Amino acid sequence: MSFSHPASSPNVTMADVARIAGVSTITVSRALRAPQTVAPATRERIEQAIQQTGYVFDSVAGSLKSRRTNLVLVLIPSIMHSYLAHMIQGISDVISPRGLHLVLGTTEETPEGEERTIRAFLPLRPCAILMHNTVHTARTREELLRYGVPLIETGDLIAEPLGHVVSYSNHEAARAMTAHLAATGRKRIAFIYRGPGNERTWIRRSGYRQALADAGLTFAPELEVAAEPGFAGAATALRYLMGLAQPADAGFFVGDDLAAGAMIECQRQGWSVPGRIAVAAYDDSELAAHVDPGITSLRIPRYELGRQAGELLLESLESGAPLSDSRSIDLGFTLNVRQST
Amino acid sequence: MSFSHPASSPNVTMADVARIAGVSTITVSRALRAPQTVAPATRERIEQAIQQTGYVFDSVAGSLKSRRTNLVLVLIPSIMHSYLAHMIQGISDVISPRGLHLVLGTTEETPEGEERTIRAFLPLRPCAILMHNTVHTARTREELLRYGVPLIETGDLIAEPLGHVVSYSNHEAARAMTAHLAATGRKRIAFIYRGPGNERTWIRRSGYRQALADAGLTFAPELEVAAEPGFAGAATALRYLMGLAQPADAGFFVGDDLAAGAMIECQRQGWSVPGRIAVAAYDDSELAAHVDPGITSLRIPRYELGRQAGELLLESLESGAPLSDSRSIDLGFTLNVRQST
DNA sequence: ATGAAAGCGCTAACAT
DNA sequence: ATGTTAGCGCTTTCAT
């Protein structure tokens, strides 16, 4: 597509500012980037020239020569996943004060979508890349490693990351919750996830299965249910589970709002919680804490995940350490037991 | 800050590709941007050279020469406001296929924050700017107009926009809901907003007050309450309203999740809804529709707001029309009446 | 503390 | 359909 709209019309350049201030362009450049290296009096004249002309620095030109942008690419499955908002805010809070900007891309939940998105974004020359995903195509892995900027993966603690990892263990979190349900005497614990599920879903499911095995409970395939998104999906899944020959006595709802939908359905049907069925949620929310009965949930430190990822990114940029010596940070999770279990 | 990390190491340039393909750089450039203007055989050789070298286009250099970036600046109050996610997704869905990238900035809810953010982002030379805000400092207005790219404001239909407007009327929406409450016989209608409130809050309040006047109800200052954020804030506000000498008989909850918090408190206190008090929400949500009783809410077309803003932005970029001939699009709202009123 | 020269990797403008 | 020339606005490098 060709845009006839100029980014900015007859423009004031650094050269103009320099001329007015009676210095060379490089001095203006230094006054902007490292003020302390320019004499106060000179700086003053430059400031005035900038005010007078309304000069706006052009980082496109700056980046071309310096071979360094201030763009951080953040790749997420979808913007609509509200649970990512906290993480993104965490990233933003850390990088913005350092002059870095956040460019948002979505992967549509698939490695292929991620590959397309990355290919579309690399021409921007981001100075770092953060991905809420740990499963990539071979080409993506290769292209990212070749590109050579700091890489951070979030989403799960993985064995062979591309670069840094900041996360918690999905497997352990799901296992801990399932173990809690088993410890409170539940025998028919269902695992309800938002279909069609992604890599993290399967990891969580493996934690669930492991906890069942640990507790000596028999694994029942009919208790693993892919729910349609939304409250209605949760309700449908729950009705199915309660209608089984051997009904579920606990539901572990893995995904945005699934547990809330289930609670509403229990109320509607008159199924007492936790009397008839225990309800547990993967992700904590204000709702989970405030409804009556409160919903037992896993608290994932989403904001902190973003903050730490941002910090790590800044450190990496400053140290210039090679991708190969990467760090893996485990931020853990908390099991908030409430009245629903 | 100085980063020693190169955005990309010893790089393949267009000149390298051109040499290998046996053409000039401009031909490679054309093959990438307008393939149909290059002979198929030539194109083929260029493709191969790109594959072979792993060449990645550098849009920093491209933008410098063409004076045109593909960055769209999207300014929002805060990333944590989940109701904006739909709008941002709408924008993204429209602009991504056209090769534009979304850069996210936050204004911290104040015109001064917005001014700082814009100043920090203008050096990126975004090709368009979208703001979920209609109140700007004088300097911001001046800087944006001078900068000269297409501008879109969302958040409210305003009389004197900087550029285009895509929104609905906050005043009319609040008025319609309040009128509905009055029409169903409520006399003591409370207006509960998330404190400290922003420009949109006051506009909505003016709609509320207008509807009261229209219905011949006396305005009661004690019925306008700034709630603390979160469910607890809504509960506190509600208890206050019910404890008044003349208690409220309807609550219009204006802000994220306030209504849900109120419903929970009603349940806890045993206040029947809508018998003892009617509950209405400014913003529709899945929760509002599914809880029992369902919550009467205003549906704001958030995704569509983003989509249309994106479309308008693309049109503006293509037409190159001056900022002055801007459009104002009213997407309206819907009043979803449910059992809570 | 400041400057001169060179050039980053592309694309506009004008050929042919 | 393809090429030549020039230069976008900065920063690097090397001087002074």
Q: Where are the beta strands (DSSP E) in chain B?
A: 71-76, 101-106, 128-132, 151-154, 164-167, 189-194, 224-227, 250-254, 278-281, 296-299, 328-330, 334-336
Place of tokens 């509002």: B288
- Tokens representing B251? 């609550």
The answer to whether residue B83 neighbours chain A at the CB level (below 8 Å) is no
Yes or no: say if A154 and A171 are a contact pair by the CB < 8 Å rule.
no
The answer to whether B58 CB is within 7 Å of strand C is yes
Q: Name the nearest CA neighbour of A249 among A275, A287, A225.
A: A275
Average pLDDT over residues B178-194: 98
Average pLDDT over residues A155-180: 97
- pTM listed for this prediction: 0.94
Yes or no: say if A168 and A333 are a contact pair by the CB < 8 Å rule.
yes
Find out if CATH 1.10.260.40 is the number for domain B14-57: yes
Bridge partners (DSSP) of residue A40 are none
Q: Residue B9's pLDDT is what? A: 44
Yes or no: say if B232 and A287 are a contact pair by the CB < 8 Å rule.
no
- Tokens representing A191? 């695992």
Name the DSSP letter for residue A267: H
Average pLDDT over residues B202-222: 98
User: CB burial class (10 A; 0-12, 13-18, 19+) of residue B149?
Assistant: buried
Find out if CATH 3.40.50.720 is the number for domain B170-299: no
Residue A66's identity, in one-letter code, is S
Q: Sorting pLDDT into bands at 50, 70 and 90, what band is A7?
A: very low
pLDDT value at A79 more than 80: yes
Q: Residue B321's pLDDT is what? A: 82
DSSP A214-238: HTTPPP-GGGEEEEPSSHHHHHHHH
Q: Residue A256's pLDDT is what? A: 78
Cα angle for residues A159, A163, A168 (degrees, 5° grid): 50
**Axis-axis angle for helices A138-147, A111-121 (nearest 10):** 30
CATH no. for B71-168+303-331: 3.40.50.2300
Q: Residue A211's pLDDT is what? A: 98
Q: Name the nearest CA neighbour of B291 among B340, B227, B221.
A: B340
pLDDT value at B4 more than 60: no
Cα angle for residues B241, B243, B246 (degrees, 5° grid): 80
Q: Name the nearest CA neighbour of B277 among B303, B259, B291.
A: B259
Q: Where in chain A is CATH 1.10.260.40? A: 14-57
Give the separation between CA A261 and CA A246, rounded to whole angstroms: 22
Name the DSSP letter for residue A98: G
First to last CA, chain B: 57
Condensed to tens digits (0 to 9), the pLDDT of residues A242-266 reads 999 999 999 999 987 899 999 999 9
Phi, psi of A126 (to 5 degrees): -60, 145
Q: Which residues, 6 or more positions from A49, have their beta carbon under 8 angstroms from its beta carbon?
A: A16, A17, A18, A20, A21, A55
Average pLDDT over residues A132-150: 95
Residue B327's identity, in one-letter code, is R
The answer to whether B62 CB is within 7 Å of strand C is yes
Q: Residue A10's pLDDT is what? A: 55
Q: Residue B11's pLDDT is what? A: 84
Subunit contact B123:A58, Cβ cutoff 8 A: yes
Strand D contact set, beta carbon < 7 A: A 11, 13-15, 25-26, 29, 32-33, 55, 57-58, 61-62, 64-66, 68; B 22-27, 30, 37-39, 41-42, 64-65, 67
Residue nearest to nucleotide D9 (CA to C1'): A61
Bridge partners (DSSP) of residue B165 are B153, B328
Name the nucleotide nearest B65; use CA and C1': D8
Phi, psi of A321 (to 5 degrees): -65, 145
Count of positions (residues) in chain B: 341
Q: Where in chain A is CATH 3.40.50.2300? A: 71-168+303-331, 170-299
Give the separation between CA A175 and CA A207, rounded to whole angstroms: 4
Q: Describe the strand order of the beta sheet including A334-336 as a list of residue ranges.
A: A224-227, A189-194, A250-254, A278-281, A296-299, A334-336
> For A52-66, A269-283, A320-334, B272-286, which range has the lowest pLDDT when averaged over its residues?
A320-334
Cα angle for residues A94, A100, A103 (degrees, 5° grid): 100
Yes or no: say if B37 and B23 are a contact pair by the CB < 8 Å rule.
no
Subunit contact A316:B92, Cβ cutoff 8 A: no
Yes or no: say if A158 and A134 are a contact pair by the CB < 8 Å rule.
yes
Average pLDDT over residues B307-311: 98
Residue B238's H or E segment, with its range, is: helix B231-242
Computed over every residue of chain B, the mean pLDDT equals 94
The answer to whether residue A58 neighbours chain B at the CB level (below 8 Å) is yes
Condensed to tens digits (0 to 9), the pLDDT of residues A24-78 reads 999 999 999 999 999 999 999 999 999 999 999 999 999 999 999 999 999 999 9
A&B contacts, CB < 8 Å: 203
From the CA atom positions of chain B, what is the Rg in Å?
A: 26
| Dihedral sign of CA atoms B74, B80, B83, B89 in order | positive
Average pLDDT over residues A272-280: 97
